[in-house]
């Protein structure tokens, strides 16, 4: 029988450094947007670099860092959500199936944010993109605040950059809600686990 002092190492140091560096870089990118452009772009590139590292580490990393350890199919994920609604979902030692979906959603949305930001920062980088279909182009062709009409595609990409950034804020709110909920349900401080790397040892019924 596990006692309160039995713990198991779950998050390796690189996952933890990745997580808290990502939180810091994302916060800086968010706070400096349209205020302090050079810092905004540096923070955004750091986010992009961290994601590239995490994708690599999801393939090569330690056990609980690997995508194959925590990504489950749609059926398992749906069952997990249904069990959660009924208050009888299992405790997972690694990421639970809902958390796994959230991680993929955050990594994709952050990639989209960083990529569109990179495109705006120098319009020459947009040269390889196809022209917008006329219906989208005309919807975007209103004069901007400086009375200029140019750059429909640029405007559309700026719009997309903000949509990604705002979507990310929503995902972070859901992420924090999920972390708080799972912490309460399984009486375990998950935020602390992302600092120390350790969680309560598996008990009967837990999914390892
Ligand atoms: C202070 C606020 C935050 C806290 C307390 C927090 C906490 C956590 C915890 C506890 C986990 C592990 C979840 C689990 O046990 O399965 C996690 C994972 C994760 N969080 Fe956060 N988080 C915060 C903010 C953020 C922000 C702002 C982002 C994105 C910009 C983010 C992105 C992620 C990602 C990508 C993972 C997956 C970690 C991995 O396996 O590499 N988090 N977070
Ligand atoms: C990945 C994290 C990022 C986040 C959360 C983010 C967020 C934002 C937000 C919210 C805005 C809108 C500001 C406003 O008009 O009120 C913005 C604008 C902008 N961002 Fe980002 N961004 C990120 C990455 C990047 C990167 C990597 C670059 C370029 C290298 C970049 C370049 C720009 C530019 C050029 C603008 C336009 C500023 C303007 O409206 O004149 N961003 N960003």
**Structural domain of residue 60, as residue ranges?**
7-200
168's enclosing H/E stretch is: helix 152-185
The reply to whether ligand 1 has any atom less than 6 angstroms from the CB of 199 is: no
Q: CATH no. for residue 192?
A: 1.20.950
Does residue 71 lie within any of the structural domains? Answer: yes
51-66 pLDDT tens trace: 999 999 999 999 999 9
107-119 pLDDT tens trace: 999 999 999 999 9
Amino acid 147: pLDDT: 46
Taking the CA of residue 191 as reference, the ligand 1 atom at the shortest distance is 10
DSSP-based three-state secondary structure for 166: helix
Please tell me the residue having the least CA distance from ligand 1 atom 28: 23
pTM of the model: 0.91
Does residue 35 lie within any of the structural domains? Answer: yes
Does residue 193 lie within any of the structural domains? Answer: yes
The reply to whether ligand 1 has any atom less than 6 angstroms from the CB of 101 is: no
């Amino acid at each position: 029988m596990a006692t309160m002092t039995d713990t198991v190492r779950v998050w390796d140091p690189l996952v933890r450094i990745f997580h808290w560096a990502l939180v810091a870089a994302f916060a800086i990118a968010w706070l400096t947007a349209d205020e302090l452009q050079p810092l905004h772009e540096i923070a955004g590139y750091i986010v992009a670099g961290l994601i590239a590292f995490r994708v690599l580490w999801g393939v090569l990393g330690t056990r609980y860092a690997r995508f194959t350890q925590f990504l489950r199919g749609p059926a398992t994920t749906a069952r997990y959500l249904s069990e959660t609604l009924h208050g009888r979902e299992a405790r997972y030692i690694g990421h639970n199936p809902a958390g796994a979906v959230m991680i993929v959603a955050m990594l994709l949305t952050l990639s989209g944010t960083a990529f569109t930001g990179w495109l705006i920062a120098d319009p020459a980088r947009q040269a390889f993109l196809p022209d917008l279909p006329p219906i989208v182009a005309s919807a975007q062709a209103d004069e901007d605040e400086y009375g200029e009409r140019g750059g429909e595609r640029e405007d559309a990409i700026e719009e997309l950059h903000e949509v990604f950034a705002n979507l990310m804020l929503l995902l972070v709110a859901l992420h924090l809600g999920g972390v708080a909920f799972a912490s309460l349900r399984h009486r375990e401080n998950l935020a602390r686990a992302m600092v120390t790397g350790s969680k309560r040892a598996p008990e009967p019924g837990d999914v390892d």
